[in-house]
Structure 1
Amino acid sequence: MQLLTVLGTGRYEKTCYTWQDKQVETRYVAHALCEFFQPDQVTVLVTTEAKEAHWNTLQETLGDRFESTDVLIPSGKVETEVWEIFDAVVNSVEPNAKVLFDITHAFRSIPLLVLLAAAFLQKARNVEIVGVYYGAFEANREQPPIFDLTPAIKLLDWLTATDKFLSTGSSVELGNLLSTIQQDFYRSGKQKTSEIRPIKLRIFGDRIQALSRSIELVRPIDLITESAKLQNIPTSELQEEVGAFAKPFELLLTQIQNDYSQFALINIEQSSPQEQLQKQFLLLRWYIAKKLSCQAILLGREWLVSAICIADGINDYRDRIKRKDIETQLGQMTGANPNFNQPIIKYVTSAEKLGGLWSTLTEYRNDIAHAQMRPADISAATLEEYAQNKLVQGLSELLPEFTA
């Protein structure tokens, strides 16, 4: 494990730094953290002035027990120097390393840069952030506490996960954060002293992850079922736990519940095929709103077959043999010599439009399914433009009673 710390030019006084039930008397927070966490190596970011003021004394304080190296950085007075500091932090840490960050003696923008660099290393180089710490000398000059600022890195994780949910509708990362919070709480033994314990966070996290997987992999039946399970989680208990253990999630909780609840049917087995199809059409609209064109085309093709099945009195619209019969009729309505004299045309507003829609959907669906492994492929721009601007309109015009 590596400790990455920063030295300034201040006149550091000897004091007794405190972490939980441990204390270390020293001038340097880095020394105290070494005693508390026993890192294998210490990397110290220093300006030329800071090195002259403190480097030798810090090395003497650490002694032979902790291997230490210095990395020169500029003072960060101009923008180019800011990026030099960022590079210095990033280049001081090896991929897959475990790192403690100490920002106590950092100045100007360095604390922010260290936090951002830590978040970058975590994502780009699989670095494990063991902790981010600050020695609060101002809080108690005789026994200053060590503050754990690691949640600041977690806040960036929340930001990333939130952006993904808002842009794509996926809450896999949000769900993982919720599940991890509950796991870490019990692994750390905090349940022995805490009045509030997370019980529902992991359940809710697992539910929204399952929902997201159903959405991403075009599993509309699973989505309807998982959405109903989500509604069974008591809201009041969940809100209390979120407020205590996952504060950033408070801003999203209501939106997630509202967004996913639209797909729910409390008992799918007792619901009508029409109700199920309407929920699936909501999902189709969701795909288009989130610009998930691939999923929209895949679902749109299957939705059309399902709608005609139901219109034809086939309540078990997922039956493979019955679907094949509908698909055969649809196929007869395409090609160079289409035959529109099919039994199913009585269920749509226009046989010609149905044949054209089926021809396009089939071609586009096959192009996606074959991953461009065909001589005459369709451009991504064409697929996206169709999904965004024509798919829902085409289905709504043909089968308005199922899309209202």
Structure 2
Amino acid sequence: MVSAATLLIAAPSSGSGKTTITAALAWHHRRLGHKVRVFKCGPDFLDPLILSYACGSPVDNLDLWMVGEDLCRQMLANAAQEADVILIEAVMGLFDGEPSAAELATRLGLPVLAIIDASAMAQTFGALAFGLANYKSNLPFYGVLANKVTGDRHAQMLQESVKPQHWQGWLGKHEALPERHLGLVLPNEIPDLTQKLDALADALASQPIAALPPVIDYGDTAPPALPPLLAGKHIAIARDVAFCFIYPANLTCLRKMGAELVFFSPLAHEALPQADALYLPGGYPELHAETLAAHPSIATDLHLWLAAGKPVFAECGGMLALCESLTLSDGTTHKMWGILDAAASMQKRLSALGTQAFDLGAGELRGHTFHYSTLKSTLPPLTHATPCRLGSRGEAIYRQGSLTASYVHAWMMGNPVASAALFGITK
């Protein structure tokens, strides 16, 4: 049996301060010398980057549909082997989505802390806290933290409105972490992030929430061995601020199947490495289109790569870089690498959002889509992904020679055999 002090940080809605307070709590415990692991509910890339900075280790995702309950349990148990504290940031509102963060907490017995933006309320805070605690009778509710409080008197009114055992303290008004069209900016773009986390951790240190949360037992930790389908294979992976949306669990999955991962930076105009397959994850090519378009050798190298029949798997932003052109939201058009017969255009509004699954013949892979661009291509899709929820549009999946490209970000650990097939290896 392994155990760790564990807390799931949730809220009534997005924008309540979950990421900020989760990062501050991670920083607080890390300053105390505790080994901290953090997870993020749902298919998210940006919040985990901030949380990874705060806790000092990679942040994996937990999701009952995309990841699965068994793997969620296993990942938490593995983390508990080394961690003193496990923090889990929820997604959207506590009960939002199917399945919700509340469902995850209930199934896995995770204590729930609710963050409530109290800036425009007083005693109604208690009613909202009561509703969150009692909406589902079996929810393991731990307590509530008031955010954006104006001062001591305001905090007193809020505290008096809730059950004494539920009060976990308050945090005053503070500057929000900066955002852009896909969410929070990257940690390296916040020059005073360390100072911000220090100030937030200092403010929380005097509150009840600063104590260790309840200890949860996670049981047997022995993970099943993955088939060595990629043994001896080298996979080149683009990784820089233009290609930064990659699940840490994907890298773990590829390594556990025997692959050696070779990282390179297209943004720094590094050459395409020698490898057996190529992985182009998503990110922000639209913010660096001119620099990416000016790469002196990658277009030629990619043409030769594909002529040799070597596999390429491109997700979302990785796919945009392969297009003939990319038109930005200001109307500027950049000629990209010219590999995929398609033209991409950035939009001012979200184009697609949601979890999706696809099967290219080796089994189902689950993942998600989240983008502000659209794609026009004369290339007919090989197939379409299937949305998790009715009413969404299934993303096109393109196959051009040994290239597979789509807006869907795949969660590879959910089906290692299908993941290996993306890189040309079939069982």
TM-score category (smaller protein): under 0.3
Larger proportion of helix: 1
With structure 1 as the length reference, what TM-score do the two structures score?
Answer: 0.27
With structure 2 as the length reference, what TM-score do the two structures score?
Answer: 0.26
Higher Cα Rg, which structure? 1
Larger proportion of strand: 2
